Structure 1
Amino acid sequence: MAALSGRDLLSLADLSSQEVQELLQMATQLKSQQLRLRCNKVLGLLFSKASTRTRVSFTVAMYQLGGQVIDLNPNVTQVSRGEPVQDTARVLDRYLDILAIRTFAQQELEIFADYAKIPVINALTDLEHPCQVLADLLTVQETFGTCAGLTLTYVGDGNNVANSLMLGCALVGMNVRVATPKGFEPSTTIVEKAQAITNNKTQVILTHDAEAATKGANVLYTDVWASMGQEAEADDRMPIFQPYQINEHLLSLADSEAIVLHCLPAHRGEEITDDVIEGSHSRVWDQAENRMHVQKALLASILGAE
Structure 2
Amino acid sequence: MRHFLTLNDFSKDEIIEILNLAFKIKKEAKVRNFKPYLKDQKLAMIFEKSSTRTRVSFDVGMNELGGHALFLSSRDIQLGRGEPIKDTARVISRMCDLIMARVNRHETLIELAEFSRVPVINGLSDKFHPVQLMADLMTIVECGIETPKIKAAYVGDGNNMAHSWLMLASKLGFELRVATPVGYEVDPQILAQAQENAKISGAKILITNDIKEAVRGAKVVTTDTWVSMGQ
Coarse TM-score class (shorter-chain normalised)? over 0.9
Alignment of 1:72-111 (within 5 A): 72-111=72-111
TM-score (norm 2): 0.93
Number of residue pairs aligned between Structure 1 and Structure 2? 225
Pick closer, same or farther for the CA change 1:224–1:113 going to 2, 3 Å.
same
Q: What amino acid does structure 2 have at the position aligned with 1:13? A: N
Could you tell me how far apart the structure 2 residues matched to 1:181 and 1:212 are?
Answer: 13
Give the drift of 1:52: 1.1
Could you tell me how far apart the structure 1 residues matched to 2:81 and 2:28 are?
Answer: 44
Q: Which sections of structure 2, spanning at least 5 residues, go unmatched?
A: none
Structure 2 match to 1:223: 224
Give the drift of 1:158: 0.8
Give the drift of 1:83: 0.8
> Runs of 4 or more off by more than 2 Å in structure 1?
34-37
CA contact 1:162–1:178 (8 Å) conserved in 2: yes
Give the drift of 1:136: 0.9
Greater relative contact order (CA < 8 Å, ≥ 6 in sequence) = 1
Q: Which sections of structure 1, spanning at least 5 residues, go unmatched?
A: 1-5, 226-237, 244-306
Deviation digits for residues 91-133 of structure 1 (CA, Å, limit 9, x no counterpart): 1111110000011111111111111111101111000001000
Is residue 2:20 matched to residue 1:22? no
SS of the residue 1:144 aligns to = coil
Structure 2 match to 1:159: 159
CA contact 2:173–2:204 (8 Å) conserved in 1: no
TM-score (norm 1): 0.71
SS of the residue 1:94 aligns to = helix
Structure 1 match to 2:134: 134
CA contact 1:191–1:204 (8 Å) conserved in 2: no
Could you tell me how far apart the structure 2 residues matched to 1:146 and 1:239 are?
Answer: 32
Could you tell me how far apart the structure 1 residues matched to 2:27 and 2:92 are?
Answer: 34
Per residue, is there more strand in 1 or in 2?
A: 2
SS of the residue 2:75 aligns to = helix
Deviation digits for residues 231-268 of structure 1 (CA, Å, limit 9, x no counterpart): xxxxxxx354x63xxxxxxxxxxxxxxxxxxxxxxxxx
Identical counterparts, % of pairs: 38
